[in-house]
Structure 1
Amino acid sequence: MSGQYYNPYGGAPVPPPPEDKGSTALRTVLIVAAIAGVVTVVAGLLIVLKSPDEYGLASNRDPLTVEAQPDGNASGDPQQALFQAAPDVPPPLPEIKPAPPMLPSTPVRIVIKRLGINAPIKSVGLAKNGTIEVPPADNPNLAGWYRNMSTPGEAGPAVLLGHKDTRTRSAVFNRLPELRHGDTIEVKRQDRTTAVFTVGGIEQASKATFPTQRVYGPQDNAQLHLITCGGTYNRNTGHYTDNVIVYATMTSSYRS
């Protein structure tokens, strides 16, 4: 029905109301003004986004370069999954047959070529509070061998400890989490032999649930367990929340 509106309440159709020319002109002006406003806003945003520094919108955080990504892996390969198991589960072993254990001999130096580590080893015992002593912080490139356990290359677990960092710089075991299954670690001994260990796995464990049995429990073959700090640094206690533990098994040896 051209020119008529249907009356929903019944009866005959009703004619449309007369056209208000003034209202039509006002609507046209408002629509044009709205379109012009949108165009102005979009143009302003484009200008700001092209020069964020000039408008105080630049990020205060510098982007990480590829070489500095948290996993330390610039090649893009997936990061190795950390070993996870109940505390009484044996340590992970490499896919290489363990070498026969050697006679005891005090360790003097640890070398991890992949991480650029070449550090002297100091003998440490127990502190007054019953925990294992750590090497002095004033010598960040120093590892500690817990002398109440096996020597590296001897049957059983040999335990070496090292700082992750100090108040001013990184320390000897800072890059331990970068080790991978199958990497090798060399420990030079006082008897002029070098024990070569192959990494079986790496674990990050809370200090509140430290896997004591896995780290210090008896083993038939010669193992090397490296321990350093990890997790989050607690400024209230002055300590990290976790430990990073590397499990390695002796797979060969040679005379220096």
Structure 2
Amino acid sequence: MGTPPPGHHPPDASGGPYGSPAGDAGAQGTPGVFAPQGYPQQVYGQPVFQPVVLPQIQLQPQQRQEAERPEGSGTQAIRGVLILAAVIGLVIVVIGVGFMIMSPDEYASPERTSLQRPGGVNQMAATVGPGGPGNPLAQADPDAPPPVPALPAAPPMQPSSPKRLIIPRLHVNAPIKSVGTDKSGAIETPPISNHNLVGWYRGGPTAGEVGPAIMLGHKDTQTRSAVFSRLHEMQYGDKIEVVRMDGTVAIFTVGGVEQAAKQTFPTNRVYGDADNAELRLITCGGTYNRTTGHYVDNVIVYAVMTGTRLAKAAS
């Protein structure tokens, strides 16, 4: 297998080595970019009305009689119209409330969509290959949901930036750097100058937060193997730990591993919404094409958070 030039990874159909995350700029705004707090509203004091002194006017006897005359039928008619309008307005409000009660879905605020797992069936191979360890990785059906482990998901935590990624099976203990997207909308790769560096897509959830946290790393450099060179060896049930800035550790359990062609990258399965705190690890894989200078596939690990603990205090 050849060695790609630094930072040079094969683009997929979306223009980048790891696909374009769902909800990039142009769809629903730029993910992960938090709008600043609203400008403070100006505080207006209560208006002060100055009394206006009008000059006294002497009324003639005939004018005084007209001023003291009781209200006529014209005033009563106006009052009746106002009362009728108020009653009609009340009826319209009641009818509107009735429509909302009878058709709640049409008036409800939009909710997040999630990838469904019909009948709880895991539609992807649970091991590193369709027939077990040692067999080639396979690409799942395009409509298959992300694979999940048998363990129940742990309750999600509040957002907190990730610091380190620990994978006991692969002897990985690597720092994490946040990355964004390039001009094509694909996720940036971490700097290849540091072979033991993992990139976290800051436009998505943090590890331990509801949704899929996306992390990626290089397979190799010009001179040596890199942090995710053995990612294809991950298996169903393996543990992954993410140390967070808030002093907690999110513990993930692998549900499955997939090797997908870059031209048919499973964008929805990787970046789509999830009901639990989940994790995706991505790197290059498959055959290295010397002519194009690209790997032809991506290796993707799917995991769900199944536990948490406090990080050990630094000695």
Q: Taking structure 1 as the reference length, what is the TM-score of the superposition? A: 0.68
Note the aligned Cα RMSD (angstroms): 1.6
Give the secondary structure class of the aligned counterpart of 1:208.
helix
1:201 paired with 2:233, answer no
For 1:161 and 1:139, how far apart are their aligned partners in 2?
13
1:189 paired with 2:256, answer no
* Counterpart among 247, 252, 256 of residue 302 in structure 2: 247
Structure 1 residues 234 and 78, CA, compared in 2 at 3 Å: closer, same or farther? Answer: closer
* Counterpart among 231, 234, 242 of residue 179 in structure 1: 234
Asked whether the 8 Å contact 1:80–1:180 carries over to 2, the reply is no
Per-residue CA deviation, residues 98-156 of structure 1 (Å, 9 max, x unaligned), is: 10110000001000011110000000000122211000111010000001111000000
Higher strand share: 1
Structure 1: runs of 5 or more not aligned: 1-76
Q: Mapping of 1:1-256 within 5 angstroms? A: 78-79=133-134, 82=137, 84-256=139-311
Q: Note the C-alpha offset of 1:86.
A: 1.9
Per-residue CA deviation, residues 166-213 of structure 1 (Å, 9 max, x unaligned), is: 111000000111111000000000001000000000000000000000
Give the secondary structure class of the aligned counterpart of 2:184.
coil
- One-letter code aligned to 1:191: D
Q: Taking structure 2 as the reference length, what is the TM-score of the superposition? A: 0.56
For 1:153 and 1:129, how far apart are their aligned partners in 2?
28
Asked whether the 8 Å contact 2:140–2:258 carries over to 1, the reply is no
Asked whether the 8 Å contact 1:202–1:247 carries over to 2, the reply is yes
Give the secondary structure class of the aligned counterpart of 2:288.
strand
Higher relative contact order (CA 8 A, sep 6+): 2
Give the secondary structure class of the aligned counterpart of 1:245.
strand
Give the secondary structure class of the aligned counterpart of 2:268.
helix
- One-letter code aligned to 1:208: Q
Asked whether the 8 Å contact 2:212–2:280 carries over to 1, the reply is yes
Asked whether the 8 Å contact 2:138–2:260 carries over to 1, the reply is no
For 2:205 and 2:283, how far apart are their aligned partners in 1?
19
For 2:183 and 2:211, how far apart are their aligned partners in 1?
25
For 1:254 and 1:240, how far apart are their aligned partners in 2?
37
- One-letter code aligned to 1:86: D
Give the secondary structure class of the aligned counterpart of 1:213.
helix
Q: Note the C-alpha offset of 1:238.
A: 1.8
Q: Note the C-alpha offset of 1:81.
A: 6.4
Structure 2: runs of 5 or more not aligned: 1-131
Give the secondary structure class of the aligned counterpart of 2:304.
strand
Asked whether the 8 Å contact 1:140–1:171 carries over to 2, the reply is yes
For 1:247 and 1:205, how far apart are their aligned partners in 2?
13
Q: Note the C-alpha offset of 1:236.
A: 2.5
Report the structure number with the largest CA radius of gyration: 1
Asked whether the 8 Å contact 1:124–1:133 carries over to 2, the reply is yes
**Alignment match, 1:16:** none
- One-letter code aligned to 1:89: A
- One-letter code aligned to 2:207: P
- One-letter code aligned to 2:255: G
**Alignment match, 2:77:** none
Aligned pairs, number? 181
Task: List 4+ stretches of structure 1 deviating above 4 A.
Answer: none
